Amino acid sequence: MIQIYTGNGKGKTTAALGLALRAVGHGFKVIMIQFMKGKINYGELESAKLLPNFTIEQYGRPDFVNPENPDKIDIDLAKQALKRSKEVIKSQKFDMVILDEINVAISFGLINVDEVIDIIKQTPSKTELILTGRNAHPELEKYADLISEVREIKHHFQKGVSARKGIEY
């Protein structure tokens, strides 16, 4: 199945991590490839080290990507993540492949939606493919079996509360 978690609310990556936790609990092999995330001590990186059959790979910098004018390094890292995604899916070594923040990478113009559609088409039927990130491209809807939109109704950031270790990262 192809699953998409999108929307402007908090919880898309968290939903994918929940799926990974459940899958690993049943002995599945899971890989999460994180687009545009890197060198920040996300709690999930430490948790993944404790779980058998769960791998997280990051392809990004700790800095935010400028959506109007992304740096060349951001484009290069996204292309590396896309290449790795293709390799992982082709290898058929994983039961679940999570492409975290791939929707944002597409919307920022770091990668092309057609390349992602090609990945979807190449995904074996036995592999669960999860795509996360806000602004999911409408073309992806044609290929998804499940789409969940996380909507922000209220967020503590609006009250000036910063990202908290163990909760937001």
In this prediction, residue 156 carries a pLDDT of: 79
| Rounded Cα–Cα distance for residues 109 and 34 (Å) | 16
The CATH homologous superfamily of the domain defined by 2-151: P-loop containing nucleotide triphosphate hydrolases (3.40.50.300)
Phi and psi of 101, rounded to 5°?
65, 20
Task: Extract the tokens encoding 33.
Answer: 């490839």
Q: pLDDT of 135-145, one tens digit each?
A: 999 999 999 99
- What pTM was computed for the model? 0.93
Residue 33 has pLDDT above 80, yes or no: yes
Residue holding tokens 């998409």?
Answer: 4
Estimate to the nearest angstrom the gap between the alpha carbon of 33 and the chain centroid: 6
Q: Which of 48-52, 136-140, 162-166 has the highest mean pLDDT?
A: 136-140
Residue holding tokens 């699953």?
Answer: 3
Provide mean pLDDT across the span 94-114. 98
